[in-house]
Chains A and B, each alone.
Chain A
Amino acid sequence: NAGVTQTPKFQVLKTGQSMTLQCAQDMNHEYMSWYRQDPGMGLRLIHYSVGAGITDQGEVPNGYNVSRSTTEDFPLRLLSAAPSQTSVYFCASRDPRGGIETQYFGPGTRLLVL
């Protein structure tokens, strides 16, 4: 299994541009989520999904959209990039069956908004 994969690894955007961060997992996990990590800080939850067709907001959802059309994919869209969205973005997945509560993280996407 490749686990959780994210693309791109690095991205530079200008203020106002839009883009989509891709996340895919091949473990058939129902739960997927997006976090952002700012320098020297922990992760903050942006959006999450508990299954295909179901998404919900996390702690810091403003400026981001998500969709979950398949179990495997959970893209994060920045609608109009702002410098405050400069961060490292992590996608994670989890299999809730059998009480397994640990999350598996992707390697991250480093985003710089100028």
Chain B
Amino acid sequence: SQQGEEDPQALSIQEGENATMNCSYKTSINNLQWYRQNSGRGLVHLILIRSNEREKHSGRLRVTLDTSKKSSSLLITASRAADTASYFCATDRNNAGNMLTFGGGTRLMVKP
């Protein structure tokens, strides 16, 4: 079973709007990472947040982590058509060989 589950599964917004994606997980983690996948391509790392961090920023990206609720959110501000992609959260669990466990992803469409 997958460790992370993203919500919503699909999201369609207009350019300039903000996009928020959520991720829930089941077991304790070392860190949580967000990846982006353009259609037909490999995954690209976006941002990592450690279990002792609550919020992190990178450009237009803002990630939060609530370990008590075992959840994380990814906010993309001022979205662009080029942000259209699938976004996956991945957890790096304690004592799991540092290999990632992925959720099912959120498919984001940003309309120009």
Q: Which A residues lie at the B interface, using CB under 8 A? A: 4, 31, 33, 35, 40-45, 48, 50, 56, 58-59, 90, 92, 94, 96, 101-108
Distance in Å: Cβ of A51 to nearest Cβ of chain B = 12
- If A102-B33, A104-B45, A106-B42 touch, does A41 touch B99 (CB 8 Å cutoff)? no
* Chain B residues with CB under 8 A of A35: 102
> Quick one: given A101-B33, A105-B42, A105-B43, are A41 and B104 in contact (CB under 8 Å)?
yes
Chain B residues with CB under 8 Å of A101's CB are 30-31, 33, 48, 92, 98
What is the size, in residues, of chain B's interface with A at 8 Å between Cβ atoms? 24
Interfacial chain A residues near B104, Cβ < 8 Å = 40-42
- Least CB distance from A90 to B in Å reads 6
Interface of B is mostly: strand
Q: Does B100 contact A (CB under 8 A)?
A: yes
Indicate if the CB atoms of B88 and A42 lie closer than 8 Å: yes
Distance from B91 Cβ to chain A, minimum over Cβ atoms (Å) = 11
In this complex, what residue of A is CB-closest to B10?
A: A40
0/1 per residue, B70-112, Cβ < 8 Å to A? 0000000000000000001010100001111111110000000
Q: Does A90 contact B43, Cβ atoms closer than 8 Å?
A: yes
List B contacts of A106 (CB < 8 A): 42
Asked if B105 and A42 sit within 8 Å, CB to CB, the answer is yes
